[in-house]
Amino acid sequence: MLACMTVSGEPQVNAKKVGFISLGCPKALVDSERILTQLRAEGYHIAPTYEEADTVIVNTCGFITPAVEESLSAIGEALDATGRVIVTGCLGERPETIRERHPKVAAITGSQDVEGVMSAIHELLPPDQNPFTSLIPGMSGGEVKLTPRHYSYLKIAEGCNHKCAFCIIPKLRGLQASRDAGEVLYEAFRLIASGTRELMVISQDTSAYGIDVRYRESEFQGKQVRAHLLDLAVKLGEMGAWVRMHYVYPYPHVDEIVKLMAQGKILPYLDVPLQHASPEVLRRMRRPGAGRQLDTIRRWREICPDLTIRSTFIVGFPGETEADFQLLLDFLEEARLDRVGAFPYSEVEEADATHFEGRVPEAVKEARLARFMEVAQRISAEKLQEKVGRTLEVIIDEYNDDEGDLSGTRLIGRTKGDAPGIDGQVYLYAGELAGQVKIGDIVSARIEDADEYDLFGEVTALLPWQPNVPQLGALVKH
Ligand code: SF4
């Protein structure tokens, strides 16, 4: 369960060892990467097991009740194993919930508080005063990534200005704070230079990027760039990696982003969390950008016919009637979204919706979820059948070395329409390219079959990787 990573550089005798548990969404994962990077820069080693850890940091999630429970049990497990635990992340914003269950926790900090975590670590495990690690910045290696080398999350903003009734993110993470475009672009540049081929742009409300800083300009490679999603997407697209947009709300300027997708500048993929389709439920949920969803989707598809739309929905929100739910199913049939996830509504202690009347019984929620998933699965299968016979670009994530397979003959990857971890996969025979395709390569593949979620086919060619960013490996070689 600990973040399993080895630390590059010479092993230090008696180095302080920190275990790390990272829970929650990709935004929390980025926070974990920042803390781990700082730990490593200060000469701490990351312990892969509890037995080796002097202390453990748990980066928690507090979004919904099951996530809170998972976080509390991870804290308990780490305490039992090591006795010294620092808690950070979303649940850290509610220290009383943690102390009530685990009074022996050594320190608690909120989300994005790298400094707070580091000062707690310094107190528990004072850093070595080794001149080689303390005086030379970054000596023990670069930034720590918890994703594979070929893809990375790029967080462009923190917090959220909305007040969705079921959500406590604005209470936990505060109002939206966008990063300067220059800072984001330099980070993207560094990531691509060191091997990233796919960037996942994330925040709580990606469409609202820059509003809080009035689209402030900042410097990137000698030019001024606005903190605006369109400008950022153009610049990211120019770097030549796959750029995937997550958590995009359907605001009017998203049409311009979809035009970039149609021009092949960024991936034709939109992750749009719609949550429902009944106007009455959306009104009570207080969802941003919730009007005329079908018209918006039709328009996007006219601009970019190859667009993959992913969305998530909540069923059984307080007050949801059978008629509301039927509207949601009708919407699903009409919109024919490519990728869909759904959750039964779950109460969160401090969310406004917890006090709403009209609770939907658990059995009804579960029955609606099953009906929803049946429709979503059928549509997904139909849409994937449309891809059979086509040749698509696929990025390779892993080898599928089942027993009896020769190494490298079977591969698992994703098309431009699939985000890692949440969408489908493509299972490929390497064919004549067996043994030549590496993880992170982009290949073209002939799709021969499909089921409800995944595609199956064969590699036809290995595609050259030529980003507009110099590659660190190449620089070292020549
Ligand atoms: S947009 Fe709504 S659901 Fe998303 S983080 Fe903001 S308040 Fe929460």
Q: What is the pLDDT of residues 349-370, one digit of tens each?
A: 889 999 999 999 999 999 999 9
The phi and psi torsions of 448 (rounded to 5 degrees) equal -110, -20
Q: pLDDT band for position 93 (50/70/90)?
A: confident
pLDDT of residue 30: 87
Question: What pLDDT score does 348 carry?
Answer: 84
Q: Architecture of domain 17-135 in CATH?
A: 3-Layer(aba) Sandwich (3.40)
Q: Residue 10: what residue type?
A: E
- Residue 445: the pLDDT is 97
In this predicted structure, what is the pLDDT of residue 2? 53
Domains of the chain, residue spans:
17-135, 151-385, 391-462
pLDDT at position 177:
96
Q: Give the pLDDT confidence score for residue 9 in this predicted structure.
A: 36
At what angle are helices 254-262 and 293-303 packed, to 10 degrees?
30
DSSP bridge pairs for 47: 19
Residue 415, classed as helix, strand or coil, is strand
476 or 264, greater pLDDT: 264
Q: What is the pLDDT of residue 28?
A: 86
**CA distance from start to end of the chain:** 40
CB distance 272 to ligand 1 below 6 Å: no
Residue 127 beta carbon below 6 angstroms from any ligand 1 atom: no
Identify the H or E element spanning 354: none
Phi/psi class of residue 139: alpha, beta or left (left: φ > 0; alpha: ψ in -120 to 50)? Answer: alpha
Most confident of 35-44, 142-151, 279-288, 290-299: 279-288
416 close to 269: Cβ distance less than 8 angstroms: yes
Token representation of residue 454: 């995944």
Q: Is residue 170 in contact with ligand 1, taking CB distance under 6 Å?
A: yes
* Cα 297 from Cα 311, distance rounded (Å): 12
pLDDT at 476 over 70: no
Q: Which of 274, 268, 271, 228 is closest to 247 using CA atoms?
A: 271
Cβ contact 173:111 at 8 Å = yes
Exposure pattern of 110-121 as b/e (b: 16+ CB <10 Å)? bbbbbebbbebb
Q: Is the Cβ atom of 392 under 6 angstroms away from ligand 1?
A: no
Q: At residue 156, does pLDDT exceed 80?
A: yes
Give the position, in ligand 1's atom list, of the atom nearest the Cα of 249: 1
Residue carrying structure tokens 């070595």: 128
167 close to ligand 1 (CB < 6 Angstrom): yes
Tokens of 349: 């202690």
Q: What is the pLDDT of residue 358?
A: 95
The C-alpha R_g of the chain, in whole angstroms, comes to: 23
Q: What pLDDT score does 403 carry?
A: 59
Ligand 1 proximity of 118 Cβ (cutoff 6 Å): no
Ligand 1 atom nearest the C-alpha of 288 is 1
Beta strand 391-399 with 410-415 is: antiparallel
Q: Is the dihedral of CA 333, 336, 338, 343 positive or negative?
A: negative
| pLDDT of the residue at 4 | 35
Atom 8 (ligand 1) nearest CA: 167
Q: Is the pLDDT confidence value at 335 over 60?
A: yes
Q: Tell me, using a 6 A CB cutoff, whether residue 160 lines ligand 1.
A: yes
Residue located nearest, by CA, to atom 1 of ligand 1 = 162
Q: Is the CB of 162 under 6 A from ligand 1?
A: yes
CATH superfamily of 391-462: Nucleic acid-binding proteins (2.40.50.140)
In angstroms, what is the span from residue 159 Cα to ligand 1's centroid? 9
How far apart are the C-alpha atoms of 304 and 296, rounded to whole Å?
12
Amino acid at residue number 64: I
CA of 273 relative to ligand 1 center, distance in Å: 10
pLDDT at site 315: 97
Pocket test for ligand 1, best of 158, 163, 167 (most atoms within 8 A of CB): 167
Instruction: Give the CATH fold of the 151-385 domain.
Output: pyruvate-formate lyase- activating enzyme (3.80.30)
| Residue linked to tokens 């820059």 | 210
Give the pLDDT confidence of 370-404 residue by residue, as tens digits: 999 999 999 999 999 999 999 999 999 998 876 56
Closest residue to atom 2 of ligand 1, CA basis: 164
- In terms of Cα–Cα distance, which of 472, 297, 351 is closest to 63? 351
Q: For position 422, what pLDDT does the model report?
A: 92
For helices 322-335 and 293-303, the axis angle rounded to 10 degrees is 10
Span 306-313, average pLDDT: 97
Q: What pLDDT band is residue 47 in, cutting at 50, 70 and 90?
A: confident
pLDDT at 61 over 90: no
Q: How many CB atoms lie within 10 A of CB 389?
A: 10
How many angstroms is it from 442 CA to the middle of ligand 1? Answer: 34
Predicted confidence band of residue 204 (pLDDT cuts 50, 70, 90): very high
Cα 184 from Cα 410, distance rounded (Å) = 36
Most confident listed range (65-79, 100-114, 118-132, 351-365):
351-365
For residue 377, count other CB atoms closer than 10 A to its CB: 14
The mean-pLDDT minimum among 47-61, 119-133, 153-167 falls in 119-133
Mean pLDDT of 420-430: 94
Ligand 1 centre and the CA of 206: distance in Å?
A: 11
Q: Residue 223, CB half-sphere, CA atoms under 13 Å: how many?
A: 7
